[in-house]
Amino acid sequence: MSKVHTFHGGIHPPENKLQSVRTPIADAGVPAELVIPLSQHIGAPSGSVVEPGQRVLKGQVIAQPGGFVSVPQHAPTSGTIAAVEDRQIAHPSGYSAPCIVIASDGKDEWVDHSGSPDYESLDIGELLNRIRNAGIAGMGGAGFPSAVKLSVPPGTEIETLVINGTECEPYITADDILMRERAQQIIEGAKILRHLIAPGETLIGVEDNKPEGLAALRAAADGSGIEIVEFPTKYPSGGEKQLIEILTGKQVPSGGLPSQVGVVCMNIGSTVAIRDAVIEGRPLISRITTVTGEGVSEPQNFEVLIGTSIAYLLDKAGYQPSQASRLIMGGPMMGFTVPSPDVPIVKTTNCLLAPSAAELPMPPPAQACIRCGMCAEACPASLLPQQLFWFAQGKEFEKSEQHNLFDCIECGACSYVCPSNIPLVQYYRASKAEVLQMRRDQEKSEHSRVRFEARQERLAQEEAEKEAKRAARKKAAEEKARKAAESGGGEEDPIQAAIDRAKAKKAAQTEGGGETNELEKLEKAVTTTRKRLETAQGKLETAQAEGSDLVDALQTGVDKTKAKLEGAEKALHDYQQAATPAAEKSEEEKPANSAAQAAIEKAMAARAAETDLSPQEKARKQLEKLQQRLAKSEARLAEGKASGEEDKIIEALESTVTRLQDKVAQAQAQLGEAEVS
């Protein structure tokens, strides 16, 4: 008999187990419709391999694993696939997820299947494959794919195989009844597991509140070398980490796996499912579910097909909706309320609890935390729940993490004992979600930072490369010049060369032939424009006097001429500024210019907003460009059509032409507008 250890904390809620073990396991039968969610386990959802209308046989694969950490799904009975669609599933959030709906034909006809009672002759890999192909995921509640759990990393020595028959949650008796009625199968399953992972010892841990189950197991295990360990009842002994500590005294490292301390832990229900898969070739298509609570008149355990609706099962147990205050899937400590009685039973549904309002009353309003510490005494993870609550309220998530928030297993012991009725677990769930979100955000921003820095680096590198090339070119040019100088003028004095260059420049300036011409041209332009402006203004005045229709047009003409004059004046002015010697020559013209200058400035003020190009000109240019492009596109389209291009290309060309035509029309409209104004 191995020594039994204990773990910190724990509580003793009323067990309420007796009412559901009075009768043997009942067969729930085959309902008319079965809804099999594609995600009933931890890991990737399975992928449906059936089509609506297809006939399937009992045990036939209807969905394949969606990844390594995943399982296949099987048809729980024979029938036709009615649909593959989203249905509401049993999940705390009550959301809908893809499900395969089977309309059963009532024949319950099996697909061809065969087991291997001589499993010891099988290869370990083959054995694991069979477990995986049977769709077995942890049946205690979490639903972790069993084959993955049993694939111990190579080189890991497993000292202890733990079969978990604790069933510490109140009300649930699915494992208890399994031990009472199918102890032999449990032992056979344990032997298969022992063969698989070759542990030093194999222990089946059971709380001492199941004497009948213990006796049956002991009788079945006699002489097998499998040890049945009985230990005091305390919630949550059935938590994997807690059970490992009870049976081995070892603690699984935070964030680690049991195999790190040489332990593999398997639920007793999963053990039987593995036995059925290996020895009988029967996939996981049914399970034992406890239906209990004061809301049902005949609380008992059912062997129920996966996918059976809760309503169907409750009916079998004499459900009285008026009695029940809520429906809980799982136990009163860690179970969750289901959104509607139509959701299906899944592989992890160990219990359906329909409590009356008196049985599990509504939580009263929370009072202030008086830091009494009862939660810390009850916490099986040795946390300080009152401090975590404090940090959760203040959103001090760093402190929450420092106080090991993520080691909380959400067993609910703290909330159970809290005299102030504070929903502690809810606070921790919220904190965890916030922290995870913060981590994700941080990861994201870290990612962006790295990307930004990489970009900066790349740009700097490119710049440096360019700079280096530039420097190289410069150097090469200098080298070339030097070589040329060496080979040509021999020992020419660079200072003399510079002096020569300066002299040449000066000579050119004094000569200034071309420049004078330029100046004259500009002056002429100014004069002509001014004359034209005067004429136009004269005409405008006449028109205004006569009240002619042409006033507007003439006004535009005057304005335009003014703008032109302004341009010409500006060019002249700029030129004079740039060529100072030339400015001296035009000295005498200045007085003559001054009157014009004043007019020009006036025009400048009047037309300050007007750009160099009038909108009309702009629009015209735009139109011309577009028309050119349109012509080109049309030519290409014609060419494409002629040479029998693919339809797609023709289509693309056509759409381009249409688009350009639209644009041309638009540009024409704009031009029209500009001309009118």
Partner 1 sequence: MALMRITSPHAHGPMSTSRVMQNVLLATIPGVIVLTHFFGFGTLVNILFGSVVALACEALALTLRKRPLGFYLGDYSALVTAVLLGIALPPYSPWWLICVGIASAILMAKHLYGGLGYNPFNPAMVGYVVLLISFPVQMTAWAPPRGAGELPSLLQALQACFLPASFDGVTMATPLDVMKQNSSLLVEDLWSQSPQFGRWAGLGWEWANLAFLAGGAWLLYQRIFTWHAPVAMLAALALMAAIFYDGGSSASGGSPLFHLLSGATMFGAFFIVTDPVSSAVSVRGRLVYGALIGLLIYIIRVRGNYPDAVAFAVLIMNFAAPFIDQYTQPRTYGHSASKEDT
Binding to partner 1 in span 331-390, by CB under 8 A? 332-341, 353, 355, 360-363, 365, 367-374, 376-377, 380-384, 386-387
Which contiguous run of DSSP H or E holds residue 62?
strand 61-64
SS3 sequence, 312-352?
HHHHHCCECCCCECCCEECCCCCCEECCCCCCECCCCCCEE
For strands 33-37 and 300-305, give the pairing. unpaired
Q: How far is CA 115 from CA 276, 279, 480, 515, 658, in A?
A: 8, 5, 89, 108, 70
Q: Which residues within the stretch 495-524 sit at the binding site for partner 1 (CB under 8 A)?
A: none
Torsion of CA 189, 190, 196, 201, to 10 degrees: 180
What is the closest distance, in whole angstroms, from the C-beta atom of residue 232 to partner 1 in the complex? 18
* Binding region for partner 1 (CB under 8 A) out of 120-128, 155-163, 323-331, 624-632: 323-331
What is the closest distance, in whole angstroms, from the C-beta atom of residue 427 to partner 1 in the complex? 11
Q: Which residues within the stretch 405-434 sit at the binding site for partner 1 (CB under 8 A)?
A: 407, 410-412, 415-421, 423, 425-426, 429
What is the closest distance, in whole angstroms, from the C-beta atom of residue 149 to partner 1 in the complex? 18
Q: Which residues within the stretch 623-642 sit at the binding site for partner 1 (CB under 8 A)?
A: none
Q: How far is CA 349 from CA 161, 241, 267, 316, 508, in A?
A: 24, 21, 13, 16, 102
Q: Determine which residue in the list 52, 256, 538, 581 makes contact with partner 1, applying CB under 8 A.
A: 256
* Binding region for partner 1 (CB under 8 A) out of 128-136, 159-167, 318-326, 650-658: 318-326
Q: Determine which residue in the list 252, 268, 619, 660 makes contact with partner 1, applying CB under 8 A.
A: 252
What is the closest distance, in whole angstroms, from the C-beta atom of residue 277 to partner 1 in the complex? 31
What is the closest distance, in whole angstroms, from the C-beta atom of residue 91 to partner 1 in the complex? 11
The two tokens of residue 466 are 């360019």
Q: Which residues within the stretch 115-174 sit at the binding site for partner 1 (CB under 8 A)?
A: 170
Q: In sequence order, what are the residues at sequence separation of 6 or more whose Cβ sits closer than 8 angstroms to the Cβ of residue 424? A: 375, 385, 388, 389, 414, 415, 418
What is the closest distance, in whole angstroms, from the C-beta atom of residue 172 to partner 1 in the complex? 13
What is the closest distance, in whole angstroms, from the C-beta atom of residue 198 to partner 1 in the complex? 26
Closer by beta carbon to partner 1, 382 or else 628: 382
Q: Which of 416, 581, 475, 529 is nearest to 11 (CA)?
A: 416
Q: In sequence order, what are the residues at sequence separation of 6 or more whose Cβ sits closer than 8 angstroms to the Cβ of residue 180? A: 21, 212, 213, 216
- How many residues in the shown chain lie near partner 1 by CB under 8 A? 73
Closer by beta carbon to partner 1, 368 or else 642: 368
Closer by beta carbon to partner 1, 64 or else 251: 251
Residue 593: count other Cβ atoms within 10 Å of its Cβ.
18
Closer by beta carbon to partner 1, 354 or else 671: 354
What is the closest distance, in whole angstroms, from the C-beta atom of residue 17 to partner 1 in the complex? 13
Backbone angles phi, psi at 6, to 5 degrees: -135, 165
Q: In sequence order, what are the residues at sequence separation of 6 or more whose Cβ sits closer than 8 angstroms to the Cβ of residue 397? A: 391, 405, 431, 434, 435, 438
Q: Which residues within the stretch 423-482 sit at the binding site for partner 1 (CB under 8 A)?
A: 423, 425-426, 429
Closer by beta carbon to partner 1, 371 or else 607: 371
Buried-exposed string 151-174: b where 16+ CB fall within 10 A, e elsewhere: bbeeeeebebbbbbbbbbbbbbbb
Q: What is the DSSP string of 618-629?
A: HHHHHHHHHHHH
CA 188, CA 55: separation in Å to the nearest integer?
A: 34
Q: In sequence order, what are the residues at sequence separation of 6 or more whose Cβ sits closer than 8 angstroms to the Cβ of residue 354? A: 291, 292, 293, 294, 295, 296, 314, 319, 323, 324, 326, 327, 328
Backbone angles phi, psi at 427, to 5 degrees: -60, -40
* Binding region for partner 1 (CB under 8 A) out of 106-114, 399-407, 483-491, 640-648: 399-407
Count of alpha carbons within 13 Å of 69, Cβ hemisphere only? 8
* Binding region for partner 1 (CB under 8 A) out of 109-117, 278-286, 404-412, 626-634: 404-412
Residue 632: count other Cβ atoms within 10 Å of its Cβ.
13
Q: Which residues within the stretch 61-100 sit at the binding site for partner 1 (CB under 8 A)?
A: 92, 94
* Binding region for partner 1 (CB under 8 A) out of 7-15, 133-141, 223-231, 655-663: 7-15
* Binding region for partner 1 (CB under 8 A) out of 9-17, 40-48, 108-116, 272-280: 9-17
The two tokens of residue 483 are 């070589």
* Binding region for partner 1 (CB under 8 A) out of 246-254, 485-493, 540-548, 556-564: 246-254
> Cα 147 vs. chain centroid, distance in angstroms?
27
What is the closest distance, in whole angstroms, from the C-beta atom of residue 302 to partner 1 in the complex? 21
Q: Determine which residue in the list 253, 318, 489, 581 makes contact with partner 1, applying CB under 8 A.
A: 253
Closer by beta carbon to partner 1, 349 or else 586: 349
Backbone angles phi, psi at 11, to 5 degrees: -135, 170
Q: In sequence order, what are the residues at sequence separation of 6 or more whose Cβ sits closer than 8 angstroms to the Cβ of residue 461? A: none
What is the closest distance, in whole angstroms, from the C-beta atom of residue 376 to partner 1 in the complex? 7
What is the closest distance, in whole angstroms, from the C-beta atom of residue 432 to partner 1 in the complex? 13
Closer by beta carbon to partner 1, 357 or else 638: 357
Q: Which residues within the stretch 185-244 sit at the binding site for partner 1 (CB under 8 A)?
A: 241
For strands 61-64 and 73-74, give the pairing. antiparallel
251 near partner 1 (CB under 8 A) = yes
Closer by beta carbon to partner 1, 309 or else 325: 325
